[in-house]
Structure 1
Amino acid sequence: MDGTLVDTEPYWMATEEALAEQHGAQWTHEDAMHLVGNDLLTSGRYIKQRMGLPQSPEEIVELLLDGVVERVQHAVPWCPGARELLLALHDAGVPCGLVTMSYQRFVAPIVEHLPPETFRVIVTGDLVEYGKPHPEPYLTAAASLGVDPAECVAIEDSNTGATSAAAAGCQVLVVPNHVVVPAGERRTFRTSLEGMTPADLAALT
């Protein structure tokens, strides 16, 4: 979701910077880039160590979500072509799953801007034991959809997410956003989702 469907990475970065400023801690752009695509608890542990915060990683995640959810409620920053592709997939009856390491309370205000059942399955970071880059999130989504992962196309913007999807057996369409994603097994690259159709995705399988 983050960086692929909606460009919320600037929201996360602004929230991280505000948290650092509030606690008089140092936080760099490189630190922010290090967190892109991570499981939120992994990010919470990194922030706790880097900023020297007294809160637990779980509490830090909730603070981050507070800030990002507030920003999303003001405006949903769709990535170019993402909403149009989702609507086309919905109209074509293609079963879709959302696989994100964000938590449910962050996903809800974004999904409500889409038709019902746009995503038949939603796998969030608080619903799996192992987050990306582990394959569990994508394996869970494919199983819930009742499909073979090899027949799925995952759309990802980070190496962490692409690694998770490929390890699950999915074909991966990589649309880099804020971080460089290296070439790898089962990875096809595109600069944007603009003009992408359900037929284009089907061709990748």
Structure 2
Amino acid sequence: MPAHHLDAPQAVLFDMDGTLIDTEPLWMAAEVALTSRFGVPWTAEDAAAIIGSAMTSAAAVLQGRGVDLPVPEIVEDLTAHVAAAVSDEVPWQPGARELLAAVRAAGIPTALVTSSYRTLAEPFVAAAGGFDAVVAGDDVRRAKPDPEPYLTAARLLGVDVERCVALEDSRSGSASAVASGARTVLVEGLQEVADRPGMSRVASLRDLTVEHLVRLAAGETLVVPPTR
């Protein structure tokens, strides 16, 4: 479907961690490795609670639990751990590559909007074949859940954020996208996310099509059932 279709999204704004790539287990492993060095207990529930948080916020939680390092060093340690794993092999989420290809084939601009820092985002952007705009966690003053990352992406693309579709998997990320005015789709992931007014839901990117994105941009709110 061509992008000049009257109701097509002006852009699709993709979150990275947990949405396009399955990095959450890698972040959890990095957190466990770091907390273990300081004898700090860290559970799967602890890890799930900070999914989608700004890197400095997540690092502050770890510091508060007893990781005796400055916040910037905690951020650097975690990012280096995950970047090394992703550089070995990109852990694509099911349906992510296919949806990204379909959106590009339709001529719809794309942006990557991530809380991760550029040191992690850039290798993924290269592996993914590039985006029309990239907003990383260290590119903004106010990270997710603030709307600044999504507003910044729309500004860089020169589009109306309210005519964009944003794909997210976390509480923090979906709050950011909804607050920006983007048509937001919650992709079910590791973190339980409550409904928000106007937010659509999908079990997997495998279940999302360009036609769904057109309907979302036109103002529909969708709950897309799994295709399998």
Residue 107 of structure 1 is matched in structure 2 by: 121
The match for 1:133 is 145
> How far 1:110 moved relative to its partner?
1.4
Q: Distance in 1 between matches of 2:157 and 2:21?
A: 23
Which residues in structure 2 correspond to 1:32-181 (within 5 Å)? Answer: 32-50=47-65, 52-116=66-130, 119-181=131-193
- Cα distance in 2 for partners of 1:78, 1:138 equals 22
Q: Aligned match of 1:20 in 28, 35, 41?
A: 35
Q: 2:128, 2:45 → 1: CA distance?
A: 33
SS class of match (2:127): coil
Code of the aligned partner of 1:203: R
8 Å Cα contact 2:183/2:216 also seen in 1:
yes
RMSD (Å), alpha carbons: 1.0
User: Is the CA contact 1:15–1:67 (under 8 Å) kept in the aligned structure 2?
Assistant: yes
Q: Which runs of 5+ in 1 are unaligned?
A: none
**CA distance, structure 1, for counterparts of residue 69 and residue 38 of structure 2:** 11
* Larger RCO of the pair (alpha carbons < 8 Å, separation 6+): 2
Give the fraction of aligned pairs with identical amino acids, expressed as a percent: 44
Q: In structure 2, list runs of 5 or more residues that go unmatched.
A: 1-15, 218-228
Q: Cα offset for 1:195?
A: 4.4
Aligned residues: 202
Cα separation, 2, equivalents of 1:82 and 1:147: 23
Moved more, 16-25 or 190-199: 190-199
Runs of 4+ in 1 over 6 A off after TM superposition: none
Matched residue SS, 2:205: coil
Amino acid at match of 1:180: E
Deviations 1:54-105 (A, max 9, x none): 2111110000011111111111111111111111111221011111000111
Is the 8 Å Cα contact of residues 170 and 186 (structure 1) preserved in structure 2?
no
CA offsets 1:130-183 (integer angstroms, 9 cap, x no match) = 011101000100111111111011000011111101111011111111011111
Q: Alignment partner of 1:173: what SS?
A: strand
How far is 1:198 from its partner?
Answer: 1.8
- Whether the aligned pair in 2 keeps the contact of 1:128 and 1:136 (CA below 8 Å) is yes
CA distance, structure 2, for counterparts of residue 104 and residue 93 of structure 1: 26
Q: Report the secondary structure of 1:5's partner residue.
A: coil
